[in-house]
Chains A and B, each alone.
Chain A
Amino acid sequence: MNTECEYIQSRMHEYFDDELDYEMSLRIKKHLEHCSECREIYEKISKLSNLIKQSFNSSSESISL
């Protein structure tokens, strides 16, 4: 893993959560276009996020008051 990847990965959560300024987001976005290793990490975060949202979003399985 090169230093750029290391740096990108250290900011990945902030990137995913839209907490970075425009310039920094763009840098990560560009990096993800060509680096499969970092992209995999990003996709894992995204997948987890979807699972969490789905797990609480149910009409069939309502939680009783």
Chain B
Amino acid sequence: MKLKNFVNIMKNPREYFQKNKYKNSDTSDLVINAQSGDNLAMDELIRRYESYIYMRLYQLDPQNENIKDLMQDVMLRVARSLKSLKNPKRFQSWLSQIITNIFFDELRKKRRKMNTVSIDSFFSEEEENSKNEKELECPKDSPDKCSEASEMKRIIRRAISELEEPYRAAIVLRELQGFSYDEIANATGASVGTVKSRIARARQKLQTKLKDYLQ
């Protein structure tokens, strides 16, 4: 045992063991314990999936300024409705469904608020060029980090983020979250036929934009 750990244990043994109680538990155990009302298990579960939640929301809309708020909403809903999850082994896909639902609920709210403005304006060029752009740029002080591969990734991500919302949502849910056409239709409130054509159209648009990388 490392000295630092030992010192921590001696300082407050009860707190230390409580905090680390679930550190090595697998997700199913965490779910089961959290379902029976153990807050430590719930904390650990949420801590473990925090970056997953962020990544999913980011993929759905890199330009979204409310990602942190949405993350809070997701975590809150997980805490509130975890008891309804019947099979603990399916936690991740259950969580994925919650993330998607919350994302599209928010989008529908935005649409209603600005129902005279086209949805494309949410992802206007102005926004495009603002802060998120910087995030994807190579750091100037360490140009060697900016390899050809990460440059390509950056270009691909930008091409996806430049798609109009219905196309981006369809292709992200399909390619990155592995949703079926049926599941995408449910999440986005479109028909399966519409989903089908959005996916085909999204791919055509991306193939045009990324033709240099698809030789």
A interface residue numbers (CB < 8 A to B): 13-14, 17, 19, 44-45, 47-49, 51-56, 58, 60-61, 63-65
The interface residues of chain A, by DSSP majority, are classed as helix
- Docked-complex contact A63 and B153, CB < 8 angstroms: no
- Docked-complex contact A53 and B175, CB < 8 angstroms: yes
Shortest C-beta distance, B25 to chain A (Å), equals 24
Which of B27-35, B52-60, B78-86, B118-126 is the contact stretch? B52-60
Q: Closest chain B residue to A49 by CB distance?
A: B175
- Docked-complex contact B175 and A52, CB < 8 angstroms: yes
- Docked-complex contact A14 and B196, CB < 8 angstroms: yes
| Listed A/B pairs (6) with beta-carbon separation below 8 Å | A13-B199, A13-B200, A19-B180, A44-B214, A54-B156, A64-B135
- Docked-complex contact B207 and A58, CB < 8 angstroms: no
Contacts A49-B175, A56-B157 given; does A17 touch B181 at CB 8 Å: yes
Shortest C-beta distance, B192 to chain A (Å), equals 9
B interface residue numbers (CB < 8 A to A): 50-51, 54-55, 58-59, 135, 145, 150, 152-153, 156-157, 160, 171, 174-176, 180-181, 196, 199-200, 203, 206-207, 210, 213-214
Among A17, A47, A51, which residue has its beta carbon within 8 angstroms of that of B199? Answer: A17
Contacts A17-B181, A56-B176 given; does A48 touch B196 at CB 8 Å: no
Chain A residues in 8 Å Cβ range of B196: 13-14, 19
Q: How far is the CA of A60 from the CA of B75 in the complex (A)?
A: 26
- Cβ-Cβ contact count across A and B, 8 Å cutoff: 62
- Docked-complex contact B206 and A52, CB < 8 angstroms: yes
Q: How far is the CA of A52 from the CA of B135 in the complex (A)?
A: 18
- Docked-complex contact B54 and A48, CB < 8 angstroms: no
Q: How far is the CA of A19 from the CA of B210 in the complex (A)?
A: 25
- Docked-complex contact B54 and A65, CB < 8 angstroms: yes
- Docked-complex contact A63 and B55, CB < 8 angstroms: yes
Chain B residues in 8 Å Cβ range of A56: 55, 59, 153, 157, 176
Contacts A51-B213, A52-B175, A54-B153 given; does A44 touch B207 at CB 8 Å: yes
Q: How far is the CA of A61 from the CA of B157 in the complex (A)?
A: 12
